[in-house]
Chain A
Amino acid sequence: AQSVTQPDIHITVSEGASLELRCNYSYGATPYLFWYVQSPGQGLQLLLKYFSGDTLVQGIKGFEAEFKRSQSSFNLRKPSVHWSDAAEYFCAVYGQNFVFGPGTRLSVLP
């Protein structure tokens, strides 16, 4: 069975600081990988996705993620966080099914 973990429930960073959100998955093969962002009371917006090819993928809003097969990870990064990035971030994998991680809440300090 496939699963997704996001080890950090809540992360707080200062505006302008760099950010890394962790995502690990369990699946027998290489799944499709996604990062979504959810603002309070809103639906989910796709930030980026990885299907194959270059393991460093660029997304919207200055985000990028790197797929590391050896670590079964797909961590999300941003070099400089903006106050508007405060939201809930979900990692998701699509292998046999579409499975979401538990989410990481990002707070940004002014």
Chain B
Amino acid sequence: GAVVSQHPSRVICKSGTSVKIECRSLDFQATTMFWYRQFPKQSLMLMATSNEGSKATYEQGVEKDKFLINHASLTLSTLTVTSAHPEDSSFYICSASGTLDTDTQYFGPGTRLTVL
């Protein structure tokens, strides 16, 4: 139980384009989903928290217009990096908590984004 998937696992895009990353909870209902960014050899930085059906709550310093988060259902959240630039290249990881275990986050495998 508690499986979270992400798609795609790796994406390369040109500067100026937008990229959408999906995060799905496969065997439980995710009332809350989290999006993290991880730089090489560093810990995870929380970007935003989203509750199903509500607007996401962004951490200080994270541009909400650049990183669009949608949590339209109890099993799917999406992160769209708009007008991506090389500095947006990073490892993006989602996690989910929900009906299975409300106080534990279960993580997806991550998405490696490279912006050329």
Contacts and interface: CB of A to CB of B under 8 A. Distances in A.
Interface in B56-86: none
Contact of B104 (A46, A103, A105): A46
Interface residues of B, number: 21
Contact of A43 (B2, B43, B109): B109
Nearest to B34: A98
A67 interface: no
B103 A102 contact: no
Contacts of A90: 43-44
A61 to B, nearest CB: 16
B98 interface: no
A43 B108 contact: yes
Interface in A14-33: 32
Contacts of B44: 44, 90, 100
Interface of B: 2, 4, 6, 34, 41-44, 46, 91, 93, 95, 103-110, 112
26 contacts: A32-B103, A34-B104, A34-B105, A41-B91, A41-B112, A43-B4, A43-B107, A43-B109, A44-B44, A44-B93, A44-B95, A45-B107, A46-B2, A46-B106, A46-B107, A51-B103, A90-B43, A94-B103, A98-B34, A98-B105, A100-B43, A101-B43, A102-B42, A102-B43, A103-B43, A105-B41
